[in-house]
Structure 1
Amino acid sequence: MIRLDRGAGLWTATIARPDKANSLTSAMLEALADFAEEAAGAAQALVITGEGKVFSAGADLDEARAGLATSPLWERLSGAIAAAPCLTIAALNGTLAGGAFGMALACDLRIAVPEAKFFYPVMKLGFLPQPSDPGRLDALVGPARAKMILMAGQKIGADEALAWGLVDRVVPRETLDETVAALCADALAASPAHVAGIKAMIG
């Protein structure tokens, strides 16, 4: 349910459970976290995307009821992505919801299709977001807009997300892969040490 491609410098993880809106099980989260941790020592660029028309609806409903919604696996995954010294890109092929927000917030860049929507309904569901997510969201969009998403439960469309700084570009679905490839090109042409050095200078 997670397709992993370890290319020559470009590593891609694809969430491939479109019949379940790419909702994530604990096994899928572990596979993604393992992949991100491995990519940190081997890749110049790491891309995370989804199959179909939804990036991810967050936790699998059955496993969420059993505790996955508040599992430390989410934080492990976003932490691994944030710590990776390579260029990290979330290629958002569709709507992003709930705990899946964390992996996108942890990436260096977020590229979305026009149909994508963004929401994180923790207030309604009665539990806290993952520990690092509010801070990363605040850094991107500011505290009031972070509260719009996390406290007021607002669903944000792609154009508004772009205006807020939540995503960095909105591109047609048919050009998403091409856009992401172009963004990775310079990093793939550089040494891993050069990529890591520039990323470390930015913070």
Structure 2
Amino acid sequence: MIETQFDDGLLTLILNRPDKANSLTKAMLEELDTAIATAKDARVVLLTGAGKVFSAGADLDEARAGLATDGVWERLSGRIAALPCLTIAALNGTLAGGAMGMALACDIRLAVPTAKFFYPVMKLGFLPQPSDPARMAALIGPARAKMILMSGQKIEADEALSWGLIDRIVAPEDLLMQARTLASDSLAAKASHVAGIKALVR
């Protein structure tokens, strides 16, 4: 349910469970984690989804069985954040719950105009994954992070852009093309150069 494509330094990972709003199972999360852990030759990693939703978060049945608090979420987002290459989340639709962690860990976030962003941990009675609140607050500030995490606010794309939660709004038909355009300079460079500039920005 994770489609993997590798082409000349570009690793594309596609959440491919559109009939279930790309809700994530433990197996899918482990597959993503393994793909990223072994992405040694990638100069750009691109995350996107099939269909009209990026991800609804955890699969509900597995969430009730313990997936919502499983350490795999934190391990995955930490691995994405630590990558020395450029990471882009091309959000083809709504991003919800624990799936937000992988997008927050990326360097750049693009989204379609209809995307919405929410993380309903307060209502569901779970804590967010440990690194997610700090990454969110670094992008949008602590008060707005609390609006999402503690007040359960659902943020639409225009507001997410003005806050800095996403970096650009792109028409659905142009989303992957725009992501690849942003990736082009890094793909044309040596991996060590990409890593060196990323280290300087950090």
TM-score grouping bracket, smaller chain normalisation:
over 0.9
2:53 and 2:126 map into 1 onto residues whose CA distance is 23
Q: CA deviation at 1:6?
A: 1.7
The equivalent residue for 1:2 is 2
Could you say what secondary structure the match of 1:23 adopts? coil
The equivalent residue for 1:200 is 199
The equivalent residue for 2:154 is 155
2:193 and 2:122 map into 1 onto residues whose CA distance is 42
Could you say what secondary structure the match of 1:43 adopts? coil
The equivalent residue for 2:26 is 26
Q: CA deviation at 1:42?
A: 1.3
Moved over 6 A (4+): none
Q: CA deviation at 1:36?
A: 1.3
1:37 and 1:80 map into 2 onto residues whose CA distance is 7
The aligned amino acid for 1:52 is G
Could you say what secondary structure the match of 2:38 adopts? helix
Could you say what secondary structure the match of 2:14 adopts? strand
The equivalent residue for 2:98 is 99
The equivalent residue for 2:66 is 67
1:28 and 1:8 map into 2 onto residues whose CA distance is 24
Q: Structure 1: 5+ residue runs without aligned partners? A: none
Q: CA deviation at 1:37?
A: 1.4
Q: CA deviation at 1:33?
A: 0.7
Q: Structure 2: 5+ residue runs without aligned partners? A: none
1:36 and 1:88 map into 2 onto residues whose CA distance is 11
* CA root-mean-square deviation: 0.5
Q: What TM-score results when the alignment is normalised by the length of structure 1?
A: 0.99
- 1:143-182 pair list within 5 angstroms: 143-182=142-181
Q: CA deviation at 1:7?
A: 1.6
Q: CA deviation at 1:52?
A: 0.3
1:8 and 1:172 map into 2 onto residues whose CA distance is 26
1:42 and 1:78 map into 2 onto residues whose CA distance is 19
Q: CA deviation at 1:8?
A: 1.0
Could you say what secondary structure the match of 2:3 adopts? strand
Percent same amino acid at aligned positions?
Answer: 69
The aligned amino acid for 2:13 is A
2:7 and 2:101 map into 1 onto residues whose CA distance is 24
The equivalent residue for 2:84 is 85
Residues 26-49 of structure 1, C-alpha deviations (whole Å, 9 max, x = no match):
00000001111112x210000000
Q: What TM-score results when the alignment is normalised by the length of structure 2?
A: 0.99
Residues 144-203 of structure 1, C-alpha deviations (whole Å, 9 max, x = no match):
000000000000000000000000000110100110010000000000000000000010
Equivalent residue pairs, number: 202
